[in-house]
Structure 1
Amino acid sequence: MPMVQVPLRIWRQRGQTFMFRGHAIRYWVAGQGEPLLLIHGFPTASWDWHYLWQPLAQRYRVIACDMLGFGDSAKPVDHVYSLLEQADLQQALLAHLNVRQAVHVLAHDYGDSVAQELIARHCEARVDIASCVFLNGGLFPETHRPVLVQKLLLSPLGWLVGRAVSREGIAKSFRQIFGPWTGPSESELDDYWSLVQSHDGPRIMHKLIRYIPERRVQRDRWVQAMQRGEVPMRVIDGAFDPISGAHMVARYEALIPNADTVLLPDIGHYPQAEAPVQVLKHYLAFRAGIAGPVRQRVYS
């Protein structure tokens, strides 16, 4: 049974705003219970969770924001964007909402790196993370396979490439990274582009993409924190994804003790949009079995 999505128009109406270091940040909250922080990816926004939002809100207090430089949040031009600052933003949002208990995290893509920083901070007693589930993302720089537009944005001409980003270019890139039968509709592509284009987003894409080299700098600190096993973790991964698919999961299993992984065949880089029913099933199973004694790969 397909899930009912939250249309982008309605999603935007339900958003709220708080200020983070002088910048307006759009955020969303729904449901009651244990706090669940959803962290979106690049180059999109928290609307990425629109299929899972209502099912998760029936069980938890779900919290999400468009990070600085993304979606409908502020996109300052004269700004040095950083994954560490995005982690600061997530903590500031939790403080704004007066969340005092341990927080569960569900992250995707760029958001995986922010979640890794939060796990490292958990090990440093700077935040309390109850669990973390990663969807497709570059958890290890050595396995990340950037698409062409990412490589171009990282080049000296990245500023020019970013300004040339168009709806057609975004659509082409998305079609390459989704699964063979689960690609986005034209309407969904319009919505993704609306979020990228908001507040003249293309002009800062070359600045946002600096997260890729920043991950290399933080790699060992993040991996060591994950290897400590203090935070229960699971990876739910679209195996077909050319950027961070099955090859990334293999590396995860090689590096993380008792690795808990789920591979979704024929699903690409956006499993929360391509296979939301499966992602929800495996997420809820993880939450139900966090205290379970044995973790292993699941094929579905």
Structure 2
Amino acid sequence: MSGLPGIALADWRAGGQDFEFRGHALRYWTAGPDDAAPLLLIHGFPTASWDWHYVWAPLAAQYRLIACDMLGFGDSAKPRGHAYSLLEQADVQQALLAHLGVAGPVHVLAHDYGDSVAQELLARHHEQRIQLASCVFLNGGLFPETHHPVLVQKLLLSPLGPLFGKLFSRRTLAANFAKVFGPQTQPSEQELDDFWNLIAHNDGPAVMHRLIRYMPERRVQRERWLAAMQRGGVPLRLIDGALDPISGAHMLARYRELIPAADTVSLEGIGHYPQTEAPALVLQHYLAFRQTLEARDETTATA
């Protein structure tokens, strides 16, 4: 389906390492040359960094890749009763970079929930708290007014959230993914098993109602994040699966309205998970973006 070989979940897990963040063990992965430009990959909700497995090896041929399962996700700690926050997840990313000794400008590739973390990092760039070299967004709720949550997200956010989270199952996941993936790019049964394995690890459904609080947090941060995106100085691109009912063509249209000289790519026939539905296209458009940046930098250097 993907056109790229990908990495089996067992092999992916075998390549992970741990670091400690505020007393919690977080799992992370690195690849590529240590002297290459660092590229931070930030996954979405409710999945994990394995989402990037199709594009991982091709990107590692050129860049120093860094990714972690954020707090509450995948193979990282999922503390009960924790007040999960997008701002804290941005702290996680900065702590991982510090752990790895990455001090210079960082490129970012983000998806879904990870888009919001990337927006926070972009705001921090303008506050001189981190240096970003570029940021590419895949489908995600960049603007609260265009985010169309599915029913399961609404239920998790409701007073019934704790109960519904505990009832969340592989069957629930499959039903929801069927709605948000493109009709021709549906996940296989094996992929669904693997996605579910990561979500269910360490009783992840028990914290889903706490993780989902990112939706109101996005509204609180909207103006600050939008100002950071509109300010310029950090090259941005949006690569968007157009058929995604959550953040597809309607979100891309809003992006073009709000972001000056918007650089956008619409993937027709693709849904909410472009990096697993059409990884070869995501790779093509990401590498083209980076080549444009490199050509611009060379022109600037020789001017």
Fold-level similarity (TM above 0.5): yes
Deviations 1:78-137 (A, max 9, x none): 210000000000000000000011000000000000000000000000000000000000
Query: Do residues 2 (structure 1) and 3 (structure 2) align?
Result: yes
Q: Which moved more, 1:155-164 or 1:284-293?
A: 284-293
Question: TM-score scaled by structure 2?
Answer: 0.96
The whole-number CA distance in structure 1 between the counterparts of 2:108 and 2:55 is 14
In structure 1, give the amino acid aligned to 2:128: A
In structure 2, give the amino acid aligned to 1:129: L
The whole-number CA distance in structure 1 between the counterparts of 2:264 and 2:294 is 16
Unaligned runs of 5+ in 2: 297-303
| SS of equivalent to 1:25 | strand
The whole-number CA distance in structure 2 between the counterparts of 1:291 and 1:55 is 18
In structure 2, give the amino acid aligned to 1:22: G
Residue in 2 that maps onto 1:23: 24
| SS of equivalent to 1:283 | helix
| SS of equivalent to 2:54 | coil
In structure 2, give the amino acid aligned to 1:15: G
Residue in 1 that maps onto 2:235: 232
In structure 2, give the amino acid aligned to 1:5: G
The whole-number CA distance in structure 2 between the counterparts of 1:176 and 1:249 is 19
| SS of equivalent to 2:133 | strand
Query: Do residues 79 (structure 1) and 82 (structure 2) align?
Result: yes
In structure 2, give the amino acid aligned to 1:223: L
The alpha-carbon deviation at position 292 of structure 1 amounts to 7.0
Deviations 1:135-187 (A, max 9, x none): 00000000000000000001001000000000000010001000010000000
Query: Do residues 257 (structure 1) and 260 (structure 2) align?
Result: yes
The whole-number CA distance in structure 2 between the counterparts of 1:123 and 1:292 is 24
| SS of equivalent to 2:135 | strand
The whole-number CA distance in structure 2 between the counterparts of 1:115 and 1:60 is 18
Query: Do residues 166 (structure 1) and 181 (structure 2) align?
Result: no
Unaligned runs of 5+ in 1: 294-300
The whole-number CA distance in structure 2 between the counterparts of 1:278 and 1:247 is 20
Residue in 2 that maps onto 1:298: none
After the TM superposition, which parts of structure 1 deviate over 3 Å for at least 4 consecutive aligned residues?
Answer: none
The alpha-carbon deviation at position 7 of structure 1 amounts to 0.4
Aligned counterparts, 1:140-289, within 5 A: 140-289=143-292
The whole-number CA distance in structure 2 between the counterparts of 1:36 and 1:96 is 15
The whole-number CA distance in structure 2 between the counterparts of 1:219 and 1:83 is 12
Residue in 2 that maps onto 1:46: 49
The whole-number CA distance in structure 2 between the counterparts of 1:42 and 1:255 is 25
The alpha-carbon deviation at position 290 of structure 1 amounts to 2.2
The whole-number CA distance in structure 1 between the counterparts of 2:295 and 2:246 is 31
In structure 2, give the amino acid aligned to 1:256: I
The whole-number CA distance in structure 1 between the counterparts of 2:81 and 2:175 is 29
| SS of equivalent to 1:176 | helix
Aligned mate of 1:118, from 98, 117, 121 = 121
The whole-number CA distance in structure 1 between the counterparts of 2:68 and 2:154 is 27
The two structures, once aligned, show a CA RMSD in angstroms of: 0.9
| SS of equivalent to 2:6 | coil
Aligned length: 293
Residue in 2 that maps onto 1:296: none
In structure 1, give the amino acid aligned to 2:254: R
Deviations 1:7-29 (A, max 9, x none): 00000010000000000000000
Aligned mate of 1:96, from 91, 96, 99 = 99
In structure 2, give the amino acid aligned to 1:200: D
Residue in 1 that maps onto 2:299: none
In structure 2, give the amino acid aligned to 1:238: G
Deviations 1:257-286 (A, max 9, x none): 000000000000000000011000000000
The whole-number CA distance in structure 2 between the counterparts of 1:278 and 1:87 is 27
The whole-number CA distance in structure 1 between the counterparts of 2:29 and 2:170 is 26
The alpha-carbon deviation at position 2 of structure 1 amounts to 1.2
